[in-house]
């Protein structure tokens, strides 16, 4: 069984190793851009956008849980992703982040990443990225797991770019990757 929590950088890994390395690297970049901030830093906006680093944390936690629910397990998402929250405000994940403490936002995102890694490990234990996801389109097609994984990477890459700009506005932090131990 592949453990999706311990994939390490490889210059010659197989497809699964390389794609999970890309996802882990994107998550690490995102975590670095959002990490260590207080409420003020997580709530800072860069007009004209209403986007915040706290909103990004909560949105990507939702994206992780939604991807697992929709494509990997078919199980409903648990709290805080309640339908009534989104019926009242379609951008609830973004907007409600201003009401959450930094500790709550960081824990929510880390928990979603852990659930995602565990779900990927279970789904790929006996299969490959060629396997269909549990989601079926209206036309009867199911995206394969490769497509689901590539979409996850793309989501992080896009939002890490947003986080890069926001973090620079908060305290001037710039760079591509978190500092590595020497």
Number of residues that make up the chain? 182
Instruction: Give the model's pLDDT for residue 3.
Output: 47
Instruction: Give the model's pLDDT for residue 176.
Output: 84
Domains and CATH numbers, the chain: 15-171 (1.20.120.450)
Average pLDDT by stretches of 10, the chain with 182 residues: 51 87 95 97 95 98 98 95 92 96 98 97 92 96 98 98 97 86 72
Instruction: Give the model's pLDDT for residue 173.
Output: 93
Helix (H, G, I), strand (E, B) or coil at 8: coil
- Spatial separation of the C-alpha atoms in residues 166 and 159, rounded to whole Å: 10
- Spatial separation of the C-alpha atoms in residues 153 and 38, rounded to whole Å: 27
The model scores a pTM over 0.85? yes
Residue ranges of alpha helices (H) inside the chain are 15-34, 39-43, 53-67, 83-88, 92-96, 102-124, 145-171
Instruction: Give the model's pLDDT for residue 159.
Output: 98
């Amino acid at each position: 069984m592949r453990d999706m929590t311990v994939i390490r950088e490889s210059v010659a890994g197989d497809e699964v190793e390389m794609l999970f390395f890309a996802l882990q690297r994107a998550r690490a970049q995102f975590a670095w851009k959002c990490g260590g901030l207080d409420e003020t830093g997580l709530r800072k906006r860069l007009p004209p956008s209403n986007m915040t680093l706290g909103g990004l944390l909560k949105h990507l936690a939702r994206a992780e849980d939604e991807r697992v629910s929709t494509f990997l397990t078919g199980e409903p998402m648990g709290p805080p992703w309640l339908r009534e929250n989104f019926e009242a405000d379609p951008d609830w994940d973004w907007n409600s982040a201003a009401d959450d403490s930094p500790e709550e936002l960081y824990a929510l995102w880390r928990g979603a990443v852990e659930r995602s890694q565990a779900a990927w490990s279970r789904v790929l234990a006996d299969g490959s990225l060629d396997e269909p996801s549990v989601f079926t389109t209206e036309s009867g097609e199911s995206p394969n797991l490769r497509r689901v994984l590539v979409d996850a990477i793309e989501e992080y890459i896009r939002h890490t770019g947003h986080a890069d700009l926001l973090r620079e506005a908060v305290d001037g932090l710039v760079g591509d990757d978190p500092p590595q131990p020497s």
